[in-house]
Amino acid sequence: MILVTGASGFVGGHVARLLAERGYPVRVLVRPSSDLRGIADLRVERVFGDLRDPESLERAVAGCDAVYHVAADYRLWAPDPRELYQSNVDGTHNLLEAARRARTRLVVYTSTVGCIGMPGDEDSPVSLEDMTGHYKRSKFLAEQAALESAQAGLPVVIVNPTAPVGEGDLKPTPTGRVILDFLLGRMPAYVDTGLNLVDVRDVAAGHLLAAERGRPGQRYILGGRNMTLREILETLARLSGRPAPKIRIPYAAAWVYAAAGTAVARFTGREPRASLEAVRMSRKKMFVRTGKAERELGFQPGPVEEALSRAMEWFRRNQYC
């Protein structure tokens, strides 16, 4: 039996689907309030619980040969930032301890490219002080917990996905929001930043490769193509037939706009269109190298254009736009 956390989410749903398609018996940890539309058609065992509830995690990992810990609170703004640390840091500690007690053969922990030194690879120097915002800080601390568990003898392999795109982005993620805002005509301008885009299907396949070939205690970047935001928007324009925005916003103007929106959000509790943390993160281009995953795992990402096309079609078909 294989346990997947975060299966109701974007990446976790694709990991659970790929495992099920390959014939593995899959158990998913979900909350009673989880949106399960993405995995509704999968024949998987559902266990209700919460990363913040150690007792439910003990039940979830019981009898599992491997665990894919994909779940995370992925928000660049939250009314109460403590929630991110409770889920991402405390929750990871709880799950790793449950896996240790259950003598699980392997844990694949899903970190984020945000924990990688920029621009660079798995060996680029980076510290907690380099993390911008609560999401990145919480994921960095969670990754450190995974590394410490590996050093203590629990076989943990870490994967660091970049910015996945494709079908099934229910919430959507911040990267999916860029695609959706473009389709809705809500992006009249852009900032000078960059991302590494990767097909979410390739990310799921990379998780399985990490389980098969990854070395415990090692990190593997699962990425695709480094692109500036302007290049991403121009690609979306070419694929959709819609015009790409031509105006580039100076960082200072974006900062003022985000600061004002974030200040209002503190009173309303409603997420701002552009959070201050997101704008601060945009100062660095999230460009990375994926040679280690290619050499050691056999990771071979495909063209991001196909994934972007599937993402746009999925948003249209599901009436997001």
Interval 224-250: pLDDT, tens? 999 999 999 999 999 999 999 999 998
Q: Please provide the average confidence, as pLDDT, over all residues in the chain.
A: 94
Q: Which of 164, 126, 77, 118 is nearest to 283 (CA)?
A: 118
Strand segments, DSSP code E, in 64-165 are: 66-69, 106-110, 156-161, 163-165
Residue 254: pLDDT over 90: no
Better-predicted residue by pLDDT, 253 or 265: 253
Long-range contacts (CB closer than 8 Å, 24 or more residues apart) made by 291-295: 291/121, 292/121, 292/122, 292/220, 292/221, 293/159, 293/206, 293/209, 293/220, 293/221, 293/222, 293/223
pLDDT score, position 259? 77
In the predicted model, is pLDDT for residue 208 greater than 90?
A: yes
User: Is the peptide bond between 161 and the residue preceding it cis, with omega within 30 degrees of 0?
Assistant: no
Bridge-based pairing of strands 194-199 and 225-228 is: antiparallel
Q: DSSP secondary-structure letter at 317?
A: H
Omega prior to 119 cis, within 30 of 0: yes
Domains for the chain: give ranges and CATH numbers.
2-167+197-224+288-303 (3.40.50.720)
Cα–Cα distances in Å, from 198 out to 202, 203, 307?
Answer: 7, 7, 8
pLDDT above 80 for 85:
yes
- Three-state SS for 85? helix
| pLDDT given for residue 271 in this prediction | 80
Report the predicted TM-score, pTM, of the whole model to 2 decimal places.
0.95
Q: Is the pLDDT of residue 156 over 90?
A: yes
Phi-psi region of 97 (alpha: psi -120 to 50; beta: other; left: phi over 0): alpha
Interatomic CA distance for residues 272 and 316, integer angstroms: 24
Residues contacting residue 185 through CB under 8 Å, at least 6 positions apart: 242
* pLDDT category of residue 282 using cuts at 50, 70 and 90: confident
With CA atoms as reference, report the closest residue to 94 among 60, 128, 121. Answer: 60
The pLDDT of residue 59: 95
CB contact at 8 A, 287 and 119: yes
